[in-house]
Structure 1
């Protein structure tokens, strides 16, 4: 029962992470075409993503913790899907690492733009921010796929 409950929580958290990531991915073509005033105004000064940072951080950490527990319980109870669950944990952990490498440095720079001037090379920051989020969402998609596959691998034979 504990494995099922942990899987449920992990699936829900991973789905929330994936949803936020796919939203960034779907917005990419439009946002890359925006001019400086629209992109900076919405992303930096408008607070469009203000709650995403704090809430997203909590959800992403909770997702990796829940996934690590799934890996532990799957192995402890000798259930199928261990490697897939481990892959999901690694991929969602990688997504967090990618955020720190790709997005955080840009966010630090963007914070300077709230009350200050926007540099002439703002498009390079936009590209790194947008494409970084896109890459992270694809890693999360792969992680979610591995998680779902780990659950499917444990489906009783009579249901296949």
Structure 2
């Protein structure tokens, strides 16, 4: 659930990307920096992200002796960690830069910052899709086939 909550926030960025890339400087900066429409993504989203990673690691530990289930779970945990590391490396520095824009002039090359912020969020969503998919697969390979057949009847 936590991984899906974290992914839902990233999907917001991914789905908004085409429209937001058409915003002019004034609109993009106003919505993103001054109005900070993503304000809760930093607090609530961070909680989802960190707890999703931690619970995936705990889950991998708990299923460590279950063969392929372990590897699928470990893969999911690794991809969730990769998404977080990607955010730290590519999004967080842009957030720090945008905070400066509140009291300083907006740089002429603002598009460079916007592009990194927008595309890093999109890539982050794709990484989380893979992570969540691997976690779902880990559950599916654990589901007994005989039980699945009976549930269809």
| TM-score between the two structures when normalised by the length of structure 2 | 0.93
Where do 4+ consecutive residues of structure 1 move more than 6 Å? none
Which ranges in structure 1 are unaligned for 5 or more consecutive residues? 1-11
Q: How many residues align?
A: 148
1:30-45 residue pairs with structure 2 within 5 A? 30-45=19-34
Aligned to 2:132: 144
Match of 2:71 among 74, 79, 83: 83
SS in 2 for 1:81: helix
Aligned to 2:143: 155
Match of 1:63 among 52, 56, 60: 52
Which ranges in structure 2 are unaligned for 5 or more consecutive residues? none
CA RMSD of aligned residues (A): 1.1
> Whole-Å Cα distance in 2 between the matches of residues 80 and 88 of structure 1?
12
| TM-score between the two structures when normalised by the length of structure 1 | 0.89
> What does the per-residue CA deviation read over 1:39-69, in whole Å, with 9 as the maximum and x for residues that have no partner?
0001000020111111111111100110011
